[in-house]
Structures are given as C-alpha cells and as structure tokens.
Chain A
Amino acid sequence: GAVVSQHPSWVICKSGTSVKIECRSLDFQATTMFWYRQFPKQSLMLMATSNEGSKATYEQGVEKDKFLINHASLTLSTLTVTSAHPEDSSFYICSAWPTTSGISYEQYFGPGTRLTVT
C-alpha cells in the first residue's frame, strides 16, 4: 500500500528555536497534503492544507507565520515551527492525498512527529 513517512519521529528543541518536520509520500505523488495537530487524548485538528506549487491554506486560528508550510515537490511537504514555545509541544501528523485518487477519497497518513519544546 501507499506509504507516507515523517521525519523526525521525535524532536526536542529549546524555546525560541525553529524546527522543521518533513512529510514524504514514498511511492506515490500527492498534489495535496494536510497537516494535523493532536493533543494528548484528543482528536486530530486540521492545521493547514498544503498544495504543491502554491501557498498553503490555513485553518482559522492557526498562525501562518508560526507554522510555515512548504510543498516544494509532489512527494514532499515540510512544516516549520518557528520560534517554538512550550505550548507548541504536540504530536504533528501529515496526510497525503494521491494525485490520481479521483473520487477514492483515500488519504494516507504519516506516523506522526512528537515535538517537545523545553
């Protein structure tokens, strides 16, 4: 089946620094990728939609200057958390929507990245 990877799987950074998270579709192309955030014992919350070759669209309440998204190729999207603070500590999950999915509606999810800001 289709595989989506995320790197790193776990990262610890100091407050005020930036950290980049990669999301890769390994065996398919994805024009669209999504970034979600999950707090402990809570649901996934959509942060933004990443479209290859264009600017990301952010959900209401998500700071676009803090969470920079770049979708530079059909297999890679990156999320950069800038000037991270402890409240940004969370589990970040991406999903990739295959370009050829048509009406299949199936997205493929990465395993997630746990970010801890100290």
Chain B
Amino acid sequence: GDSVTQMEGPVTLSEEAFLTINCTYTATGYPSLFWYVQYPGEGLQLLLKATKADDKGSNKGFEATYRKETTSFHLEKGSVQVSDSAVYFCALDGSSNTGKLIFGQGTTLQVKP
C-alpha cells in the first residue's frame, strides 16, 4: 500500500539556519503530495502542496518539489525563524484524490534564537 517516510526528529536549528526535512513516498499511480504544519495546541494546517511531477509548492518561505524519479518531496526553507517551531507532516493523497491522506510520522522542528 501507499506510504510516507519522513526523517526522524527532533530537528534543532538556530535562527536563520537552512532547513531541510526529508520526505519520501511509495505510491501506485500519481498521488498529490502535501506538507502540513501543526503548532502547539492547534490543528494541522496545510503548508503547501503539489499535485503532479516537477510541481513546486511554496508558502511562507517554505518550498518542496514533487520529484517522481526519486519519489521525494523534501521540505526546505532558506532561513528559519523561532516562529517556525512546530511539527511538520508530509502526506499524500493517492491517485484517485479521495481526500484520504496518508501521513508520515511527523518531524518536530525547534528553532532557537
């Protein structure tokens, strides 16, 4: 079945450091890919998405490119801020776009001033 694998956390960075959170997936067909962010005490929020190969999703300085050849969707940000501290989830929706999301295990990011 479909699955998503994220790098283990927690990730601790200093402010203004470069961030990469790795995400790889296994899926039949052509899934849509997502990054969600969960701030403490809040629900998951969609950070960015990509629906086909080579698409780049971007939002709030975060970017991720849908790489079908490497089945990856790595999250990057050039300069993190303390306010980016949160849990980040990579997810996919299978090729039938049912809305049923399969999540990675989540990566906790802590940014220190």
A interface with B by C-beta (< 8 Å):
4, 32, 34, 36, 41-46, 49, 93, 95, 97, 103, 105-112
Closest 8 A/B residue pairs (Cβ): A109-B43, A109-B44, A43-B105, A43-B103, A44-B103, A111-B43, A97-B99, A110-B43
A102 to B17, CA, bound (A): 37
B29 to chain A, nearest CB (A): 16
Count of chain B residues with Cβ under 8 Å from any Cβ of A?
Answer: 24
Contacts across chains A and B counted by CB atoms under 8 Å: 55
Which residues of B in the span 56-113 have a Cβ within 8 Å of any Cβ on A? 89, 93, 97-106
List the B side residues contacting A41 at CB < 8 Å. 105-106
Contact B46 A106 (CB under 8 A): yes
B interface with A by C-beta (< 8 Å):
4, 32, 34, 36, 41-46, 49, 51, 89, 93, 97-106
